[in-house]
Amino acid sequence: MWRDPKNNSRPSSFKINNNRWRLVVAFIFLLAGALLYKLFNVQIQECDLYTAMAASQQDVNRALLPTRGKIYVTEEVNGQEKLYPLATNKEMATIFAVPKDITNSTLLAEEFFKFFDLPTLTASSSASTTLTSSTHDQLIAAYLKRFTKPNSLYQPLDKRIDDDTLLKFYATLATALANATSTSPIVPITTTTAPVLKPVTADELMVLNERVVYKNDTSTPLVIPGLGYNFSDYRYYPDNEIGSHLLGFVSYPDAASSGVGKYGLEEFFNDELSGRAGSVNSAKSAQGRTIIVNDRKYLKPEDGSDLILTIDRNVEYVACTKLQEAVKKHGADGGSVIVMNPATGAIIAMCSVPDFNPNNYADVKDIRVFNNPAIFDQYEPGSVYKTITMSAAIDQGKVTPATTYHDAGEIMIPGWPKPIKNSDFETKGGHGVVDMNTVLEYSLNTGAIFAERQIGPKVFSDYVKGYGFGEKTGIELGSESPGNIGSLLTDKVKEIEAATASFGQGIAVTPLQMIMPYQAIANHGILMTPYAVKAILRPGGIRENIEPKQIRRVVKESTANTVSAMLVNVVESGHAKGARIPGYFIGGKTGTAQVAEHGLYSATNYIHSFIGVMPIDHPAFVMLTKIDNPRDAKFAESTAIPLWHDIAEFMLKYYQIPSTRPK
């Protein structure tokens, strides 16, 4: 049968299915095209971006902090050098708050105050006036401000404590908070069935794996809601205030820092003590574990070097303790002690008051306390300076101990409107014809002027500079002052400037500068560089010893011997009788200097000092004691000399220095 091909058509349902198929195929092609484009974009166009993102998730780039070097003082035991750390490192806890989790902010603030602030306030010598309701309210308010910060997850509390203190603190908090309420008990956050926390003592707790736990259940940590702590290595000073000005302290500008030295040895030797940070570049697994593979980089950190000081541990302790007692006894503003080996320039002890605890340097209210008064404070030294004047005149051959002059008790200087008087003029008047020994024994200002005039202002100025005044001594401590002898540095020194300088007024020195001429005289006329570090221990045990350094000869040996003998007369017959110790020849000189205030000399404020050499025939040490503005005595023989005597007596026994004269 003949059929018309036009009538051989497919059913309409087939046409519909075919259209759907074409739509599916088109969608697949579009999806494949989009996928190919995305792959091209990721793998070609934005390859660097995604490589970096992957690295940030998988790579670990971490700084490896070195261990800061220790600072040691020494002690000789049976002829052997024994080291004690004056600055070391200790793992401590830093406390922080999580305000949103704190359940009782008021009670927590009160407990913080009682634990951290109240002991400091009550330990103050003026606790009755310091501990006021206003002080209490201010400190509580400061805590509450941090504890109640809305939605805050972290508030540092500036509390860094060791393990024992952390246990006491957590026991105190747990007991207080547990007793405060029964409706909101504190429970250890470990399991949902953990028991309600009860009062606990520090003896029932321990630190394990950087967590405070119960000794009878080490799997259960003690958790105080809203408080936490992190353990890290921090600088630690075992002797607290002892040697604080020598050491300085270490600050931590951020959590990733190994610390930066501030003031003292910590700052001066910061590079040596800090060492060199390392780094690690490793991979991280999906579980967060660090994986070190062959093509990753690892740079080992280099720990800091240790310092071994010239400081004797026992002498430093006694000197600092005795100084504290003397300042308190005399109601003084402060004071300093320096003990030095005259043959080498090595510092045996150095301390000043007021001092600070470098463990808690943030508690210091006045940052000027951080400056080391022994090398920073400038003052007019007074009569201890007469030894310099006398040595210059003797060295020039212009006077001898037997040279005489007529002392009228006062003297007029051309160009100056009023006479310069001796300190005892009001009670003694003039002393008549006296020799140079008497000038030092009775500390006569007119005699110092007489000696200076024999050599003239220019030569006198040269000796002053030769002893190192007007420039830094070079000791390895930061923030040293150069002093001020500007009045003696002009082309034509005024007669009045030279006259007043001859007895230690009108110029400014530091305590360390002032002890140096006595070091030179005790060392046969040779000035040494003072130093406090005798060795550096490099990583690997390599020891670099610091050798004594000679600066210059200032006076002839014969001059030094003559002046030394004159200083003995001062102790034997003059104002320094209180420094005598049976069995020894001691030489020294007192100084009672008026304090310049607003261009005038104060009628009530004085600086007392004594510098002594012992024993004078075989000098083992030279020591300066200085008391600032004592309230109960007018002259140094009542303040600085007793302090010097007590420390010297200890040192004679400690070093077993043999007697050199019949008792």
Tokens read off for 430: 């003039």
As a whole number of Å, the end-to-end CA separation of the chain is 160
Note whether 229 and 94 are within 8 A (CB): yes
Q: In the chain, which segments carry CATH 3.40.710.10? A: 311-357+371-654
Q: Which of these, 268, 247, 241, 248, lies nearest to 354 by C-alpha position? A: 241
Note whether 355 and 245 are within 8 A (CB): yes
DSSP characters over 437-486:
HHHHHTT-HHHHHHHHHHHHHHHHHHHHHHTTTTS----S-SS----B-G
Q: pTM of the full predicted structure?
A: 0.81
Residue 291 has a pLDDT of: 54
Mean pLDDT of 368-384: 95
Percent of the residues in the chain that have a pLDDT greater than 70, as a whole number: 85
Mean pLDDT of 98-107: 88
Tokens read off for 280: 């690690």
CA angle 496, 515, 479 (to 5 degrees): 90
Spatial distance between the Cα atoms of 95 and 93, rounded to a whole number of angstroms: 6
Tokens read off for 62: 């971490």
Residue 467 has a pLDDT of: 97
Note whether 536 and 272 are within 8 A (CB): yes
Cα 418 to the center of its chain, rounded Å: 45
Mean pLDDT of 301-324: 95
Q: Any idea which residues carry the catalytic annotation?
A: 383
Four-CA torsion 100, 104, 107, 113, nearest 10 degrees: -10
Q: At 13, is the secondary structure helix, strand, or coil?
A: helix
Q: Where does the pLDDT of residue 419 fall: very low under 50, low under 70, confident under 90, or very high at 90 and above?
A: very high
Worst-scoring range by mean pLDDT, 131-140, 446-455, 543-552, 563-572?
131-140
Angle between helices 386-395 and 445-466 (to 10 degrees): 70
pLDDT tens for 142-190 read: 899 888 888 788 888 877 888 999 999 999 998 988 887 554 444 443 3
Spatial distance between the Cα atoms of 262 and 417, rounded to a whole number of angstroms: 48
Chain mean pLDDT for the chain: 86
pLDDT tens for 321-370 read: 999 999 999 999 999 999 999 999 999 999 999 999 999 898 888 999 99
What is 311-357+371-654's CATH number, 3.50.50.60, 3.40.710.10, 3.40.50.2300, 3.40.50.300? 3.40.710.10
